[in-house]
Structure 1
Amino acid sequence: MKKKVWIITLALLFVLSSILAGCSGNKPSSAKSKTLIFGRGADSKLLDPAQVTDGESLHVTEQIFETLVKYDKKTTEVQPHLAESWETSPDGLVWTFKLKQGVKFHDGTPFNAEAVVYNFNRWMDKSHPEHKGGEFPYYGYMFGGYKGDKGHVIKSVTAVDEHTVKFELNFPQGPFLSNLAMPPFAIASPAAVKKGPDQFAQKPEGGGTGPFKFVEWKKNDSITLEKNKEYWEKGLPKLDKVIFRSIPDNAARFTALQSGDIDMMDGLNPNDVQLIKGNNKLKLYEQPGMNVAYLAFNTQKKPFDNPKVRQALNHATNKEGIIKSFYAGMAVPAVNPMPDIMWGYNKNIKDYEYNLEKAKQLLAEAGYPNGFEVEFYAMTEPRPYMPDGKKVAEYMAEDFAKIGVKTKIVTYDWQTYLDRTGKGEHSMALMGWNGDNGDPDNFLYVLLDKDNTRTPDAGNIAFYKSDELHDVLIKAQRATKQEERTQLYMKAQEIIKRDAPWVPLVHATAPLASKAEVTGFVPHPTSNVDLREVDIK
C-alpha cells in the first residue's frame, strides 16, 4: 500500500513540475541573459555625446544615442540611419533629410523633425535655455563655431513637416554629411534633456533611440546598459546587457580577459598580440590606423613661441626607437598630422630627421645654446594611439636631455588631463586623435586651426594660430570638389611641417581582443564601437 502511494505521489510531482515549467514563459529554461563586459582603460567624462570629445565617453554614448546618418561597417562611407534619405541643392547650401518613421526615444516620446531641430538649436545657440552641461566642443570644431560667429556653417535648421528636416548653410561645407555621422551629433530626447542638462550628462535616462538604454554609472568603475526591447532595427541588439568596466592597467585588463572576468577589451599591449594569436580561446581584432599620436607645443608660451625650438625637438625625437620600444612594430612613423591611408595626404613632405647635432644647432640659433627646463605632460591611461604615454615621455626625455632640454614629467588622471590641456595649462603635452569621419578637415582643421584654440575645450592644444593656414583650411572646407580640396590640404600640410607646432609621432594599428565566443564585432577606422550586432555564442 505504501509503495503504491509513493508511486502516485511521484507521478503527481512530475505532472506539477511539467505544468510549472510550461507556465514559466516562452524562453526555454536553459536560456540565460547575454551580458558583455567590455574592459577599458579609463572612465567616461560625461554621457551627453554633444559635450565630449574623448573615446571613453563616446564608446558608451554610441550604444544609447543615434545619428541621422552613419558610416559603413568597415569604411567612412556615409549611409542612411535615422534619416532614410537626403538631397542637396546644386550650390550645396540646402540639405533636406527624410526621417525614419515610427522611431521612439527610450522615454517613449517620438523621434521627429522637431527633435532634430531642438538638438541643433541647443548645440549652436549659446542663449538656448538648455545650452548647458558643458561646452559643446565638437559642434564648434566641426561647424566653425556657434551661432553669431563669423565662420559658423549652419544658418538654420527647420522642420518642413513631422518627418522632414531642412538645413540651410551660410556657405558650403565639403565634409558636412560626414560630420553629421559623428557620434557627438546624435539626437537626444528633448523631453529628457529639458529635465536638466547637467543631470542628463550624468544619467541620460530615456534620452536616446539606440539599441541600449542607460541603467547605472558607478564612477571610475563601471557603466551598465540594458537592451532596448523596442529598438527599431528588427532582431537587434543581440545582447541583453553591456557593462563598460574601467581597468586602467593594460596588463591587468588582459589578465581579466584571460581569466574570464571580462569578455572584451581595448588597449591591448602590442607585446601581448602574439599571445592572443596563439590562444584559441581568444580572438584578436586590428583597428586600422586612422589616428595620430603627437607631442604638442603650447606655442603661446616661451620658448615654444619660437619655431626653431619646435623644429629642434622634432630633430631630437627618435620615432623608430619609440615604435620598436612600445608598439611592437604595430605603428608607422608620423610625418604629417594625418595618416597616409587618407585622401589628401601629402607624400612629398620629408620628415625632420633624427639628428641631435642639428637639434642643438637650432636651439643655439633660437637663443637657447644651453637648453631650458620645461614640464612635460604625459597621459597615464592607455589610448589606442599610445599604449603607455608615461614611458614614451620618459624615452623622449632622455634624448631631449642630450640637447640640454631638461623635462619634468607631469601626469594626471584622464579627465583632468583633458581639462588642463583643453585650457592650455601645459607647456608641452603628449596627445592623440582618432579620426572621426575620414575627411582631412577632421585632422587639420580640428587639431591645428586657430578657430579651435577656444578654451576650455581647445581641440588645437598647440594653440597654434596661423592666418595663412586658416585661409587654406577654410577654402578647403568650402570647396565641393575633392580634387580641389586635396590640393589645398596638401598645401596645408606644408605650412604645418614648416611651423612645427607638433612632433607627429606615430600612426598606430590598435589591437583589441575578446573571448572566442564573442561574434559580430567589426573594428572601425574611426575607433567607433558598434555593439548592435555583437553576440555571445
Structure 2
Amino acid sequence: MTIRQLVAAAAVALGLQVGAVQAQTLVVCSEASPDFLNPQFTGQNTAFDVAAQIYDRLVATERGGSQIIPSLAESWTISDDGLAYTFKLRTGVTWHASKAFTPTRAFNADDVVFSFQRMFDENHPYHKVGGSNYQFFNEIVRPSLKAIEKVDDQTVRLVLSRPYAPLLSALSVEPMSILSAEYADAMMKAKTAEQVNLAPIGTGPFSLLAYQKDATIRFRAVPDHWTKTVGNRDRMALVNDLIFVITPDASVRYAKVKSGECQIARYPNPGDLPAMRADPNLTLLSGSIADQSFLAFNQQKKPFDDKRVREALVYATNIPAIVEAVYQGTGKQAAAIIPPSLWSHDEDLKPRPYDPEKAKALLKEAGLPDGFKTTLWAIPVVRAYMPNGRRAAEMIQADWARIGVQAEIQSYEWGEYLKRGRAGDHEVGMFGYTWDYPDPSQILLSGWHCDGVKSGANRARWCNKEFSDLLTKANTITDQAERTKMFRRMQEIWQDDVAGLFFANAQAFTPVTKNVKDYKIHFFGGQPFVGVSLTK
C-alpha cells in the first residue's frame, strides 16, 4: 500500500472525503520499527518516538527545549531533605479505548502506583509480563527509590532512600510513562496480560490504530485530550491522523519527502543536505544534540580486557578521515564522554591521534605482534550520531588491517542488533546514545556504570570502581559546581582507561515539506508530533 493509499484509508476510517483529510494527515518517514511498544522495556529512540505519541508522564520536557514542565502532575513539592517528592495529579484526564478495553474511570493515583510498582516490585503480578529488564528504571530510578505511596486519588509521593538530583528530569523520559491499572487488571482477568505490552493504552495526544512491523504505524488524534482543556497549543495534536512509514534507506526517505509522499523525513544522509537546502519545496531544520557515538570493546572477551589492545585499536583508527567521509560536515571528532551541548563537558580533553606505528608497538607489547582476528558490528540504521555505520565499519576494517587486525564486519536487523548487543554477543560493536533528559549523568549511568554490566546496557562491559563511585556520589548532591568537578574527573578516567572509541558529536537535521508548520526537533526523549500542523 502506498502512502497516498494509507492516507485514503485513514479518510475512509474517519468517514471523510480524501481531499478534505489529506491536509489533516501527517506522514513521517521514520528509520526503523520500535523494539517494544511498551517503553518500560527499552532505551531506544525508535520506541520512544512511538511512546511519545501514546503515553504521558508525570512531567515532560518542553518540546524542542530542555525545561521540565508539568504533565500528568500539575504541580509538585520536594521535601527539604530531598527525600520526598509529592505530586498533585491532574484531574479529568481520560484513557484511550480499544476493541478489547473501555475505561470506566479517569486517570488517578492508582495508575501511577501501578506503573512504578510493576517495575519496582519483583513480586508484582505484572513484573515479568513481557520481560523484567526495565533498563531505564533499574539503572536511573531504582537505586534511589524507596517507596511509591498513594496519598489520595489525586496525590502520589515518591520516597527516596537518598537524594537524587536528576529525578525530575528522569521522570520525563518515555520509560517512565504512566500505564492504566484498570486496563492491566482487565487483561489479567481475561488471561491476556501480554496485551498491555502489545496493544498500548495511554493518555497521550494520539492513540495507536495499527502497527505493521517494518511497514507502518498509524495513530489517531484523541479528540478530548486534556491539553485542549489546558489550552496549550504546543502540546495538542493538531492533525487528525499521524502515520509513521518505516523506511530504513535514507535515500528513499529523501525521495519520499521530495515527492510529498511524506512531510517529514527523519535522519537524512549528510551527503543529501546541500540538495535539501537548495530545494525550494523543503525546509531543512537543524540543531545540536547531546549524543555519543562509539565502538564498544567487549572487555569480557579477550583480548579486549587488555588496555594496551584497546589503545592500539584507537591509535590505529583514522577518526578524522571517518568524520570527513561519514559525517560530511555534520559532526566534530569527540574526545570527552560528556558532549559539548551539556554542562560539565571537558573541553581540555583531546582525542588520541591516528598513529599506526604506535598501535603496532602496543600490540607487540600485549603479546600480539602479528595482530588477531575479530568481528566488528556495523550499526544497521541511520542515526543522528552515526549517519552510515557500514561505511564507517569498512574504513575501520581497512585501518585495522594495516596493523594486522582482521575484522569481519557483521550486522543484524535493528531489533536483533539491540537484543544481541544487550546480551554481549559482540566482540567490537558500534553503538550510540542520545541523552533523554538534560543531566550529564544519564548516559553515564545507563551506558558506563558498573551496574550496567549485568543488565547489558553497558555494551563495553567496562567496570571502573572510581568512575562508578564518583557517578553514584554526584547524583546525591545538588551543588552543580561540585558535580561538575566530579564529572570532569570521570571524563579523565574514561579516556585514560580507553573504555571505548568515540567517533563524533553530531548535529541533527530534519527535512520537512513547506506545508509543515511549527515542527520542532526534540532533543531529549522521543520526538513528539504535537503542535505540528499542515497548511493547505
Q: Does 1:217 align with 2:211?
A: yes
Shift of 1:243: 0.9
SS of 2:512's partner is: strand
Counterpart Cα distance in 2 of 1:527 and 1:155? 25
CA contact (8 A) 1:287 1:524 kept: no
Q: Which residue of 2 aligns with 1:177?
A: 168
Counterpart Cα distance in 2 of 1:505 and 1:472? 25
Letter in 2 for 1:165: V
Q: Which residue of 2 aligns with 1:110?
A: 106
Q: Does 1:75 align with 2:65?
A: yes
Q: Which residue of 1 aligns with 2:29?
A: 39
Q: Which stretch shifts more, 185-194 or 83-92?
A: 185-194
Counterpart Cα distance in 2 of 1:162 and 1:192? 17
Counterpart Cα distance in 1 of 2:49 and 2:375? 31
Q: Which stretch shifts more, 403-412 or 333-342?
A: 333-342
Shift of 1:387: 1.4
Counterpart Cα distance in 2 of 1:498 and 1:45? 34
SS of 1:44's partner is: coil
Task: Give 5+ residue unaligned stretches, structure 1.
Answer: 1-24, 145-151
Deviation string, structure 1 residues 233-257 (Cα, Å, up to 9, x no partner): 1163111111111111111111111
CA contact (8 A) 2:372 2:404 kept: yes
SS of 2:519's partner is: coil
Q: Which residue of 1 aligns with 2:145?
A: 154
Q: Which residue of 1 aligns with 2:5?
A: none
Match of 1:166 among 157, 162, 165: 157
Q: Which residue of 1 aligns with 2:3?
A: none
Q: Which residue of 1 aligns with 2:294?
A: 294
CA contact (8 A) 2:57 2:71 kept: yes
Counterpart Cα distance in 1 of 2:399 and 2:20? 59
Deviation string, structure 1 residues 325-347 (Cα, Å, up to 9, x no partner): 01111101110222112111122
Counterpart Cα distance in 2 of 1:383 and 1:74? 18
CA contact (8 A) 2:174 2:525 kept: no
Shift of 1:527: 5.7
Q: Does 1:445 align with 2:467?
A: no
Shift of 1:198: 2.5
Shift of 1:261: 1.6
Shift of 1:200: 2.4
CA contact (8 A) 2:338 2:344 kept: no
Moved over 6 A (4+): 27-30
SS of 2:503's partner is: strand
CA contact (8 A) 2:29 2:244 kept: yes
Shift of 1:525: 2.2
Q: Which residue of 2 aligns with 1:494?
A: 492
Deviation string, structure 1 residues 165-186 (Cα, Å, up to 9, x no partner): 1110011111111100111111
CA RMSD of aligned residues (A): 1.8
Q: Which residue of 1 aligns with 2:6?
A: none
SS of 2:328's partner is: coil
Q: Which residue of 1 aligns with 2:375?
A: 375
Counterpart Cα distance in 1 of 2:247 and 2:425? 27
SS of 2:253's partner is: helix
Q: Which residue of 2 aligns with 1:15?
A: none
Q: Which stretch shifts more, 186-195 or 208-217?
A: 186-195
Q: What is the correspondence of 1:3-402 to structure 2 with a 5 Å cutoff?
A: 31-32=20-21, 34-107=24-97, 108=103, 109-131=105-127, 132-134=129-131, 135-144=133-142, 152-194=143-185, 195=187, 196-204=192-200, 207-234=201-228, 236-402=236-402
Q: Which stretch shifts more, 415-424 or 343-352?
A: 343-352
Letter in 1 for 2:476: R
CA contact (8 A) 1:293 1:386 kept: yes
SS of 2:504's partner is: strand
Larger C-alpha radius of gyration, 1 or 2? 1
Deviation string, structure 1 residues 362-417 (Cα, Å, up to 9, x no partner): 11111111111001011221112111111110111111111111100001000000
Which TM-score applies when normalising by structure 1? 0.91
User: Does the C-alpha gap of structure 1 residues 201 and 291 become closer, same or farther in structure 2, counting only changes over 3 Å?
Assistant: same
Counterpart Cα distance in 2 of 1:396 and 1:363? 17
Letter in 2 for 1:173: Y
User: Does the C-alpha gap of structure 1 residues 100 and 316 become closer, same or farther in structure 2, counting only changes over 3 Å?
Assistant: same
Task: Give 5+ residue unaligned stretches, structure 2.
Answer: 1-13, 98-102
Q: Does 1:413 align with 2:409?
A: no
Q: Which stretch shifts more, 431-440 or 109-118?
A: 109-118
Shift of 1:29: 11
Letter in 1 for 2:468: H
CA contact (8 A) 1:297 1:428 kept: yes
Counterpart Cα distance in 1 of 2:19 and 2:399? 61
Shift of 1:30: 7.3
Shift of 1:300: 0.8
CA contact (8 A) 1:203 1:217 kept: no
Counterpart Cα distance in 1 of 2:299 and 2:350? 22
SS of 2:510's partner is: strand
CA contact (8 A) 1:105 1:208 kept: yes
Counterpart Cα distance in 2 of 1:436 and 1:30? 38
Counterpart Cα distance in 2 of 1:128 and 1:246? 35
SS of 1:533's partner is: coil
Q: What is the correspondence of 1:517-536 to structure 2 with a 5 Å cutoff?
A: 517-526=515-524, 528-536=526-534
SS of 1:275's partner is: helix
CA contact (8 A) 2:338 2:346 kept: no
Shift of 1:448: 0.5
Counterpart Cα distance in 2 of 1:94 and 1:454? 29
Deviation string, structure 1 residues 444-464 (Cα, Å, up to 9, x no partner): 121101101124xx2110011
Counterpart Cα distance in 2 of 1:285 and 1:141? 33
Counterpart Cα distance in 1 of 2:247 and 2:306? 40
SS of 2:184's partner is: helix
Identical columns (%): 33
SS of 1:242's partner is: strand
Deviation string, structure 1 residues 496-520 (Cα, Å, up to 9, x no partner): 1111121011111121111110112
Deviation string, structure 1 residues 468-497 (Cα, Å, up to 9, x no partner): 211111111111211111111111111111
Counterpart Cα distance in 1 of 2:121 and 2:193? 15
CA contact (8 A) 2:375 2:407 kept: yes
CA contact (8 A) 1:287 1:512 kept: no
Counterpart Cα distance in 2 of 1:89 and 1:239? 41
